[in-house]
């Protein structure tokens, strides 16, 4: 290392070394160019390449003198006499230090990886002593009859584990210099001593000497006031200084989410609909298409909004009118759902709906589970219950329903939202068509929906004409409820038909048995024979169903046999009366007959034969 000739260098910024093929390598750490350095020495670039044919020796350059050498100010011996720190003062007043290590009888530059350790005034440390920022302070306190120590690199020191033993069980008074690095050094040392030293104090020298200069230290205080007066000032401040304790830190938001059970409040589960729909949680309602999922949730929404009982309530259940929201991507609010809710007795003022037709800018496209938009909606309106029909309409585009844990992750925010706002979520989903599946395996190809829901209600057809079931398949807070049986009357309203302890599994297995071809063929024959024997080859549809059941044919078997005959154009349906006057009667007749007063229906048009009053 040398002083660079290309700029006013006082710190030996130029590195000179020999590289491959004996090339001379120059590097100025102040940023001077190689060309500038070579030119300042009166040399050329070719002089950097050693060529024995041109040079027998390397070119030489004698740097000009840059003034007097730095004066040695002090020496401090460390590590049992193996290391020495030498402090110098330049002519401009700046200071620097150099480390030397001992090799035999000589001192050589550098530490040579020897750990200096702590610099202390006495071999034996008393119960209380001072921790300062440099060796000079240690020596000056020693002259005053006090015990002190410092770290080897002043305010730039790093704490080593080997230092711990010197402070264990001791009382330590830290005296930092009057500047920002000194304060940082004091807090670093105090933090490392906490839990190791018995007591710690950090004394602000500015309290002892208000006019202490920037970077002033305990040595300056001793020089200014004398040993006795200076130390009396320090002790006065020490007596008024509280013991050091770690500064308060911002709590870790993530870690603060984990608490001992004593911090939790034990609560009983509360219910939106007792036994069936828990408050502030997710309840899943699942069924095949055509069973009446929309009619069912409209019955529930209407009852809650008006303070009446719904199909799932026990007799005498009372409640106050509630604020309800529903979000649907299937049925038109204006053309279908308003009428259904009005006829079910809903209080329209208490119901909020999602208006897709008004969304001209696509703001609702991001209204999905786990989205900021959905969280904003729930926090703002805080409905008592919110219906999502169907679940597929609110799943983020990149979420695969069949992929394990994806549905759980996107719907999990509903749980936190529900418990915070008190909103209960009714999620409506279609069941799959997998043969022989029941319960959990029928939930729209996503076991996550089942897992994240606290209550699961499944709907389907029983073996009785027009009678459906509501089976409580999962319940986290109560025993499974007795299966509710219901029908839908000619006005499209829910009618309770009793209860059963059969579950979705039993009903699905009954349906599988009913699908068997021999039974269905027997039922087809029965229908054709019965109609052929009837007057005008026609019968009231309800009478035909009852005759079939009386002859041992289940309603599901009858329904499938009847649908096949209609598809084969062997039978047809007609009605008399009108739905408006509620006197409509449906008939089934053989296709070959000539009855004139009938209304022929297309094959795929729904008919209300599933209703006992049709």
pLDDT for the residue numbered 58: 54
- Based on the domain organization, do 435 and 496 belong to the same domain? yes
* Whole-number pLDDT of residue 140: 95
Whether 565 has a pLDDT exceeding 70, the answer reads yes
Q: What is the overall mean pLDDT for the chain?
A: 87
What percent of the chain shows pLDDT beyond 90? 53
Note whether 302 and 395 are same-domain residues: yes
Residue at 89 is within a domain: yes
Report the C-alpha gap between 390 and 385 in whole angstroms. 15
Helix (H, G, I), strand (E, B) or coil at 484: strand
Q: Label residue 55 by pLDDT band (50, 70, 90).
A: very low
* Residue 128 sits in the same domain as residue 29: no
Domain membership of residue 145 (yes or no) is yes
The pLDDT assigned to 80 comes to 85
Number of domains in the chain: 5
Q: Give the sheet arrangement for strand 571-576, strand by strand.
A: 538-540, 585-590, 571-576
Q: Which 3 state secondary structure label does DSSP give 82?
A: coil
Span 200-225, average pLDDT: 95
Q: Is residue 258 part of a domain?
A: no
- Do 124 and 202 fall within a single domain? yes
| Interacting residues of 589 by C-beta distance below 8 A, sequence separation 6+ | 531, 536, 537, 538, 539, 571, 572, 573, 574, 595, 598
My answer on whether 355 and 491 are in the same domain is yes
Kindly state the tokens that stand for 363: 């703001």
Q: How confident is the model at residue 490 (pLDDT cuts 50, 70, 90)?
A: confident
Mean pLDDT of 305-315: 93
pLDDT at 319 over 70: yes
Whether residue 319 is contained in a domain is answered as: yes
Residues 51 and 76 in one domain: no
Question: Tokens 């005296």 — which residue?
Answer: 175
Segment 337-348, tens digit of pLDDT: 999 999 999 999
567 with 474, same domain?
Answer: no
Structural domain of 296: 271-504
Q: What is the pLDDT of residue 404?
A: 77
The secondary structure of 175-233 as a DSSP string is ---SSHHHHHHHHHHHHHHTTTSSEEEE--HHHH-TTPPTT--HHHHHHHH-HHHHHHH
What is the rounded average pLDDT of the residues 489-502? Answer: 91
Q: Parallel, antiparallel, or unpaired for β 585-590 and 571-576? A: antiparallel
Q: Does residue 391 form part of some domain?
A: yes
Residue 53 has pLDDT above 50, yes or no: no
Q: What is the pLDDT of residue 613?
A: 42
The CATH number linked to 584 is: 1.10.10.10
Res. 389: pLDDT tops 90 = yes
Beta-sheet pairing, 351-353 with 385-389: unpaired
Residue-level pLDDT at 614 = 38
Task: Tell me the C-alpha distance between 173 and 212, whole Å.
Answer: 19
Question: Is the same domain home to 174 and 321?
Answer: no
The greatest distance separating any two alpha carbons of the chain, rounded to the nearest whole angstrom, comes to: 135
The answer to whether the beta carbons of residues 178 and 133 sit under 8 Å apart is: no
Instruction: Spell out the residues 6+ positions from residue 518 whose beta carbon is closer than 8 angstroms to its own.
Output: none
Mean pLDDT of 41-66: 62
Instruction: Give the strand pairing for 199-202 and 494-500.
Output: unpaired
CATH of the domain at 169: 3.40.1360.10
Query: Do both 565 and 524 map to the same domain?
Result: yes
- Residue 28, pLDDT > 50, answer yes
pLDDT band at residue 40 under the 50/70/90 scheme: confident
- Please tell me whether residues 95 and 147 are part of one structural domain: no
Residue 90: is its pLDDT beyond 80? yes
Contact 97, 76 (CB under 8 A): no
Poorest-pLDDT segment among 240-249, 379-388, 394-403: 394-403
Shared domain check, 374 and 231? no
DSSP-derived secondary structure for 379-432: HHH--SEEEEESGGGGS-TT--TTSTTHHHHHHHHHHHHHHHH--EEEEEEEBP
Contact (CB, 8 A) for 3 and 10: yes
Give residues with Cβ within 8 angstroms of 192, minimum separation 6: 159, 163, 164
State pTM to two decimals: 0.52
CA 547, 551, 553, 554 dihedral sign is positive
pLDDT at 600: 58
Please report whether residue 598 resides in a domain.
no
Question: How far apart are the C-alpha atoms of 34 and 39, rounded to whole Å?
Answer: 9
284 and 371 together in one domain: yes
With a cut of 60, say whether residue 593 has pLDDT above it. Answer: no
């Amino acid at each position: 290392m040398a002083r660079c000739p290309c700029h006013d260098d006082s710190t030996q910024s130029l590195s000179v070394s020999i590289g491959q093929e004996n090339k001379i390598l120059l590097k100025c750490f102040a940023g001077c160019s190689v060309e500038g350095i070579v030119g300042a020495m009166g040399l050329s670039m070719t002089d950097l390449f050693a060529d024995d044919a041109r040079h027998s020796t390397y070119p030489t350059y004698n740097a000009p003198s840059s003034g007097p050498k730095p004066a040695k100010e002090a020496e401090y011996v460390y590590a049992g006499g193996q290391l020495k720190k030498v402090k110098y003062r330049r002519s401009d007043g700046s200071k620097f230090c150099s480390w030397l290590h001992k090799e035999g009888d000589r001192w050589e530059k550098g530490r040579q990886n020897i750990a200096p350790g702590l610099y202390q005034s006495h071999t034996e440390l008393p119960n209380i002593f001072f921790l300062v920022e440099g060796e000079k302070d240690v020596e000056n306190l020693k002259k005053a009859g006090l015990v002190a120590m410092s770290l080897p690199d002043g305010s730039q020191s790093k704490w080593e584990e080997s230092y711990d033993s010197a402070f264990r069980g001791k009382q330590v008074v830290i005296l930092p210099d009057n500047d920002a690095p000194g304060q940082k050094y004091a807090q670093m040392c105090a933090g490392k001593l906490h839990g190791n030293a018995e007591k710690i104090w950090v004394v602000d020298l500015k309290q002892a000497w208000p006019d202490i200069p920037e970077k002033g230290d305990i040595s300056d205080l001793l020089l200014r006031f004398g040993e006795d007066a200076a130390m009396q000032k320090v002790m006065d401040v020490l007596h008024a200084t509280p013991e050091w304790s770690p500064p308060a830190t911002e709590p870790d938001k993530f870690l603060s989410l984990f608490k001992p059970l004593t911090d939790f409040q034990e609560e009983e589960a509360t219910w939106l609909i007792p036994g069936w729909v828990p408050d502030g949680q997710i309840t899943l309602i699942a069924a095949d298409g055509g069973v009446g999922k929309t009619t069912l949730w409209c019955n529930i929404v209407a009852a809650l909004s008006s303070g009446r009982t719904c199909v799932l309530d026990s007799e005498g259940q009372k409640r106050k009118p509630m604020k309800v929201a529903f979000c649907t991507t299937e049925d038109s609010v204006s053309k279908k759902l308003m009428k259904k809710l009005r006829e079910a007795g809903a209080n329209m003022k208490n119901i909020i709906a999602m208006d897709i037709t008004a969304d001209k800018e696509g703001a609702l496209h991001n209204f999905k589970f786990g989205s900021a938009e959905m969280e904003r909606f729930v926090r703002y309106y805080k409905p008592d219950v919110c219906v999502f029909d169907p679940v597929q309409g609110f799943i983020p585009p990149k979420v695969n329903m069949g992929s394990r844990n994806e549905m759980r992750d996107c719907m999990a925010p509903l749980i936190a939202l529900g418990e915070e706002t008190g909103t209960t979520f009714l999620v409506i989903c279609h069941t799959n068509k997998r043969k022989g599946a029941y319960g959990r395996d029928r939930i729209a190809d996503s076991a996550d929906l089942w897992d994240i829901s606290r209550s699961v209600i499944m709907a389907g057809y029983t073996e009785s004409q027009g009678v459906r079931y509501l089976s409580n398949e999962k319940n986290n807070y109560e025993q499974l409820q007795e299966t509710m049986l219901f029908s839908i009357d000619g006005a499209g309203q829910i009618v309770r038909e009793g209860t059963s302890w059969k579950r979705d599994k039993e009903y699905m297995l009954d349906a599988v048995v009913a699908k068997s071809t021999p039974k269905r063929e027997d039922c087809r024959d029965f229908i054709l024979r019965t109609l052929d024997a009837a007057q005008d080859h026609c019968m009231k549809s309800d009478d035909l169903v009852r005759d079939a059941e009386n002859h041992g044919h289940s309603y599901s078997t009858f329904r499938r046999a009847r649908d096949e005959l209609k598809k084969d154009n062997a039978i047809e349906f007609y009605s008399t009366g009108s739905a408006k006057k509620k006197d409509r009667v449906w008939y089934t007749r053989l296709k070959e007959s000539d009855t004139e007063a009938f209304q022929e229906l297309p094959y795929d048009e729904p008919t209300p034969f599933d209703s006992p009053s049709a």
